Chains A and B, each alone.
Chain A
Amino acid sequence: GESVGLHLPTLSVQEGDNSIINCAYSNSASDYFIWYKQESGKGPQFIIDIRSNMDKRQGQRVTVLLNKTVKHLSLQIAATQPGDSAVYFCAATGGGNKLTFGTGTQLKVEL
């Protein structure tokens, strides 16, 4: 089955710095990946997604990189702001329509 994990449980960054959150997945058949942001007591909020036929996708202040060779996914947040403080999850579909979530990284933005 699909297994998705994150390298670090907590990431602290200074306001204005760039943040990089990493994620590893195990199923080579995974073809769709999503990053979510979750604030306390709320449901996950979509940030950005990427399909397996791409290796990079950019949004507003966010970039997702996909390395299928080593089954690694990263989320880069430029100019991190206090409002970015939350838990970030990567998720992947493993050949079906079910999403498997990683363990989450708590991003803390220090002023």
Chain B
Amino acid sequence: GAVVSQHPSWVICKSGTSVKIECRSLDFQATTMFWYRQFPKQSLMLMATSNEGSKATYEQGVEKDKFLINHASLTLSTLTVTSAHPEDSSFYICSASPVDYGYTFGSGTRLTVV
């Protein structure tokens, strides 16, 4: 149990376009989900906390207008990278915390902006 599904696993987009990444909890409800960003050979950095039915909480230095988060249901949170640029190329990972199961992570999305 406690599976988090992330889609797509990889995406290539042109500069200036927007990309949406989905994070789903498959067998549990998640009122809170977390979005991380990871650059090559670096650790995971928390970008924002996604709250079902309310606004996301962004970490310091993360542009909320650039990284739009929507958590419209108890099983789905989406991250939209707007007006993407090459420096936004990264590995994006979501996670959720089912009760008594710690934190479960999605398989990640490799975004490449060309």
Contacts and interface: CB of A to CB of B under 8 A. Distances in A.
Contact of B43 (A34, A43, A103): A103
Interface of B: 6, 32, 34, 42-46, 49, 91, 93, 95, 97, 102-108, 110
A24 B106 CA distance: 26
Q: Which of B45, B91, B103: most chain A CB closer than 10 A? A: B103
Interface in A1-59: 32, 34, 36, 41-46, 49
Interface residues of A, number: 20
* Interface secondary structure of B, over-half rule: strand
Contacts of A104: 42-43
A97 B102 contact: no
* Interface secondary structure of A, over-half rule: strand
Contact of A34 (B34, B49, B103, B108): B103
